[in-house]
Amino acid sequence: MNNAVLDTIAARRSHRAYEATPVTDKQLDALLKACMDAPSAVNRQPWHVSVVRNQALLHEMNAELRAQMMQREASERSPRFADPSFDVFYHAPLVLFLSANPDWRYSALDCGIAVQNIALAAESMGLGSVILGMPRDAFAGSRREEFEKALGFLPGEVFQIAIAIGVPADNKDAHPVHEGHVSYID
Ligand SMILES: Cc1cc2nc3c(=O)[nH]c(=O)nc-3n(C[C@H](O)[C@H](O)[C@H](O)COP(=O)(O)O)c2cc1C
């Protein structure tokens, strides 16, 4: 089937290496529009987006979440942390953080839908991305308020999800599809 949306969905990958090339303001505007165009329960649009190009802040957050992760058993953290130079943001030139008030029961789901809109928009524009849950751990310790303030979270909001975006510098195969996840009820 010749369908640009399906082609974009099929071509998207999680990219974990990026060129230093900045994401332009025009590209950023299109990514934010794709986010805001997402559906949400009762059209609440619970997300707030923090646009981060500040590498020093990302570096600080990476250091803090590494410290949090290293307090856990090795089996409870990604094996990627075995590499001391591992950067959870993969040195992407742009990271978007989605925050929302957790008291609304659809916040996490709506943010997940919105972040996928961003990922597909990025792919359609020749950019790469990776959705990031791991930055949550940067907010697990004593620096939570400092980072929430630095990111401009609105009162009552907490981290929901992030997405790193840039010109990809890696190649990745499509993920293998697990079988048995569909039931046909006639
Ligand atoms: C909610 C969510 C959180 C994720 N968090 C991370 C993360 O913190 N770091 C990372 O490298 N990949 C993360 N990923 C990417 C997944 O590992 C990836 O989507 C999966 O392995 C399938 O690969 P693909 O995206 O290339 O199809 C996350 C994906 C989702 C949907």
Q: Is the CB of 33 under 6 A from ligand 1?
A: no
Q: What is the 3-state secondary structure (H, E, C) of 119-172?
A: HHHHHHCCCEEEEECHHHHHHCCCCHHHHHHHCCCCCCCEEEEEEEEECECCCC
Topology of the domain covering 12-166? NADH Oxidase (3.40.109)
pLDDT digits (tens, 9 = 90+) for 142-161: 999 999 999 999 999 999 99
Cα distance between residue 55 and residue 166, in whole Å: 13
pLDDT digits (tens, 9 = 90+) for 49-89: 999 999 999 999 999 999 999 999 999 999 999 999 999 99
For residue 63, the model assigns a pLDDT of: 98
- Are the C-beta atoms of 165 and 95 separated by less than 8 Å? yes
Q: How far apart, in Å, are the Cα atoms of 15 and each of 47, 88, 104?
A: 24, 12, 31
Q: Is the CB of 130 under 6 A from ligand 1?
A: yes
For residue 79, the model assigns a pLDDT of: 93
DSSP bridge partners of 161: 98
> Which atom of ligand 1 lies nearest, measured to the CA of 134?
8
Question: The tokens 């290496």 sit on which residue?
Answer: 17
Cα distance between residue 119 and residue 125, in whole Å: 10
pLDDT digits (tens, 9 = 90+) for 7-56: 999 999 999 999 999 999 999 999 999 999 999 999 999 999 999 999 99
Q: Is the CB of 165 under 6 A from ligand 1?
A: no
**185 CA to middle of ligand 1, Å?**
30
- Are the C-beta atoms of 93 and 166 separated by less than 8 Å? yes
For residue 116, the model assigns a pLDDT of: 98
Considering only CA atoms, give the Rg of the chain: 17
For residue 156, the model assigns a pLDDT of: 97
Q: What is the mean pLDDT of the chain?
A: 97
pLDDT digits (tens, 9 = 90+) for 159-174: 999 999 999 999 999 9
**105 CA to middle of ligand 1, Å?**
23
Q: Is the CB of 94 under 6 A from ligand 1?
A: no
For residue 1, the model assigns a pLDDT of: 85
